[in-house]
């Protein structure tokens, strides 16, 4: 079984792509709705909450967990992997949604020899829209620079966007917010538009078309759920010990109110998703 963890239900957009890509695998999703959102929480608190969520999924039988939350991936993933995982859960693995995006932008595999990969390529600019905490972590610029120093990364925090999406705000209000953030990015890029932008929050794919409309024609908008699904399939090919097909079952857990979350989840998952309390 593959676990998928998120601070809320934005990660359902990732789960949807994972299940579509690996329909014979069993998935267990956990949303920490009681503590959402993570975007403005202190780093130590994000780490503690992420560790607790991953532990719950391991306790339920997951052998591999995907952090379907950019904030958790940016702030907590490396520390979990380096200082906690092998001691607490030897033989288990935790992956994040940050890695596939970095690989897509740089063309350099995550586990490649970074020093050997530092070959000058064509200079280009990439924009990143994300939560305030993901932006403050500097994870995307840091990892991209280590692999492709010729790529200029410009970030734009979007603090109002997740609350608007989760509240199912009128589309016009969401579009106005997206336009505001797109204009903010373009102001800092006065010389030329980026070649691509990364939607660095799992909520944002639900309004990807609004980003496309708000940006100059020709700017590529990278799909995080699809890239994560492609990356996981490649990972399972390299690590067959985690490639354990089941019955294609998908289960949903929440730390919040199951009835309220179930009512909201369909929009993110694309079909009914009944949550139980963990």
Q: Which residues are catalytic?
A: 69, 201
Are 255 and 134 contacting, i.e. CB atoms less than 8 angstroms apart? no
Are 124 and 118 contacting, i.e. CB atoms less than 8 angstroms apart? no
Give CA–CA dist 277/98, Å, rounded. 28
Burial group, residue 190, by CB count within 10 angstroms (0-12, 13-18, 19+) = exposed
Closest by alpha carbon to 266, among 161, 197, 168? 168
Give CA–CA dist 239/231, Å, rounded. 12
Say which residues have a Cβ less than 8 Å from residue 157's Cβ, sequence separation at least 6. 130, 131, 132, 135, 136, 181
**227-253 burial code (b ≥16 CB/10 A, e <16):** bbbbbbeebbeeeeebbeeeeeebebb
């Amino acid at each position: 079984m593959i676990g998928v963890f998120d601070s809320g239900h934005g990660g359902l957009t990732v789960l949807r792509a994972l299940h579509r890509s690996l329909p014979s695998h069993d998935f267990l999703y956990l949303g920490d709705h009681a503590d959402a959102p993570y975007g403005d929480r202190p780093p130590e608190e994000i780490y503690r909450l992420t560790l607790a969520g991953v532990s719950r999924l391991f306790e339920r039988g997951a052998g591999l967990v995907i952090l379907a939350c950019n904030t958790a991936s940016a702030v907590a993933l490396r520390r979990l992997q380096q200082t906690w995982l092998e001691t607490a859960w030897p033989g288990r693995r935790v992956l994040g949604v940050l890695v596939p995006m970095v690989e897509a932008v740089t063309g350099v595999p995550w586990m490649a020899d970074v020093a050997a990969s530092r070959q000058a390529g064509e200079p280009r600019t990439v924009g990143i829209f994300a939560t305030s905490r993901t932006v403050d972590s500097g994870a995307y610029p840091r990892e991209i620079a280590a692999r492709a120093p010729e790529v200029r990364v410009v970030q734009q925090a979007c603090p109002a966007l997740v609350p608007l999406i989760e509240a199912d705000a009128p589309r016009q209000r969401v579009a106005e917010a997206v336009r505001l953030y797109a204009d903010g990015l373009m102001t800092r890029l006065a010389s030329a538009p980026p070649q691509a932008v990364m939607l660095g929050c799992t909520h944002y794919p639900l309004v990807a078309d609004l980003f496309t409309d708000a940006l100059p024609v020709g700017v590529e908008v990278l799909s995080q759920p699809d890239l994560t699904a492609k990356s996981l399939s490649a990972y399972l090919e390299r690590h067959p010990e985690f490639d354990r097909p089941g019955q294609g079952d998908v289960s949903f857990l929440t730390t919040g109110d199951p009835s309220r979350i179930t009512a909201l989840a369909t929009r993110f998952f694309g079909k009914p998703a009944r949550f139980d309390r963990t």
